[in-house]
Chain A
Amino acid sequence: GNSVTQMEGPVTLSEEAFLTINCTYTATGYPSLFWYVQYPGEGLQLLLKATKADDKGSNKGFEATYRKETTSFHLEKGSVQVSDSAVYFCALSDQDFGNEKLTFGTGTRLTIIP
């Protein structure tokens, strides 16, 4: 079956540091890949997505590239801010349209220190 493995947290960084959160996946076929973010007391928000190999998703300074050869979708940001503190989830879907069933990783808690 499908699975997602995420870098375990928690991760603590200083403001303006470079961020990488690793994510690898196992899936049949060609899944779509997602990063979701969960701020304290809130639901999940889609951060970025990529639907095919070599696609790069980007949003709010975050980027992730779909690497089929290494089955990875690592999240990066060049300069983090205190407001980026949240839990980040990597996820995949093996369906193309809105009826996707998402498989999530366990999440990585990120704390940014001023």
Chain B
Amino acid sequence: DAGVTQSPTHLIKTRGQQVTLRCSPKSGHDTVSWYQQALGQGPQFIFQYYEEEERQRGNFPDRFSGHQFPNYSSELNVNALLLGDSALYLCASSLAEGPGKAFFGQGTRLTVV
């Protein structure tokens, strides 16, 4: 059983560019959450998708947007990249109606230069 898979694993972008990160949830999971983990910090909640809609959102600007597809996979898009967007982006999947237990992917390391 594949767990949560994220792609790509590493990415280098230039300031001002746009980036798309991808996540496939654990088999059977229907909810995807995205987190940003800056170096030396704990993960910060960006947003969560369920039934192809954004259900919750953290304190992140509108430059951060997402999408969930009918197969439950998800994308995170960041526009107008800033140097401060450099971080590890983590995807977590879970069941909306199940006991609380989020499974995390290995993350995408984004570097903005």
Q: Which residues of A contact B (CB under 8 A)?
A: 4, 6, 32, 36, 41-46, 49, 51, 89, 91, 93, 95-107
Interface residue? B31 (CB, 8 A): yes
Chain B 92-110 interface 0/1 with A at a Cβ cutoff of 8 Å (1 = within): 1011111111111111000
Measured between beta carbons, the chain B residues less than 8 angstroms from A107 are 40-42
Contact partner of A101 (CB less than 8 A), chosen from B48, B90, B96, is B48
Categorize the interface residue count of chain B: 20 to 34
Q: Which residues of B contact A (CB under 8 A)?
A: 4, 29, 31, 33, 35, 40-45, 48, 50, 55-56, 58, 90, 92, 94-107
Q: Is the CB of B96 within 8 A of A43?
A: no
Q: Is the CB of A97 within 8 A of B42?
A: no
Q: Is the CB of A45 within 8 A of B99?
A: no
Q: Is the CB of A101 within 8 A of B33?
A: yes
User: A97 with B98: in contact, given A43-B4, A102-B45, A103-B45 (CB under 8 Å)?
Assistant: yes
Closest chain A residue to B57, Cβ basis: A101
A36 to B37, CA, bound (A): 14
User: A105 with B42: in contact, given A43-B4, A95-B100 (CB under 8 Å)?
Assistant: yes
Q: Is the CB of B94 within 8 A of A99?
A: yes
Q: List 9 A-B contacts (CB under 8 A).
A: A43-B90, A44-B43, A91-B42, A98-B96, A98-B97, A98-B99, A99-B55, A100-B94, A105-B42
